[in-house]
Amino acid sequence: MSTTKNPIQDILKTAIQREIDAFTLYDTTAATVDNQVVKDLLNDLALQEKGHRAKLEGLLHGRVFKVLTKEQKKKVTDYKITDYLTEEPLAADSSLQDVLIVSGKREKASHDLYAAMAEVVNDEETIKLFAWLAAEELIHKRRVETLYEDLILKEN
């Protein structure tokens, strides 16, 4: 019996690991920061990444999701605020600005990965799942960038 390599499963495993890494980053950093706004944002992002992981693991194990509602199909605008900013590794003394930059860049990278995955799979429901995940990450990025604009740019 020959074993064939399934590139989609490899992509899913990579995506799952990215969600685990994002969850760990947000959760660990949330436990070390004192600023309640930053802590709440990180905890919320961690929770959402955990949900994405569950969907990806389900897909890896053969479950198919009908995920796109009318609301989820809306076009999401990318503000691109964090795209050109320099990120610093997160630490206990990270500022809100540092956290928002790192978060925005992580969400963009996840969006780009899921958008690319939607282009390489053949199953219509899997395409929809990856498109939904890409949109979700862009929504997270927009939320982070809106906070950046409101809390950092307007202060300057």
All domains of the chain in start order, with CATH: 7-153 (1.20.1260.10)
Q: CA 49, CA 43: separation in Å to the nearest integer? A: 10
- Over the stretch 11-46, which tens digit does the pLDDT of each residue have? 788 889 989 998 998 898 888 877 788 788 889 989
Q: Determine what percent of the chain is predicted with pLDDT higher than 90.
A: 21
The pTM is what?
0.77
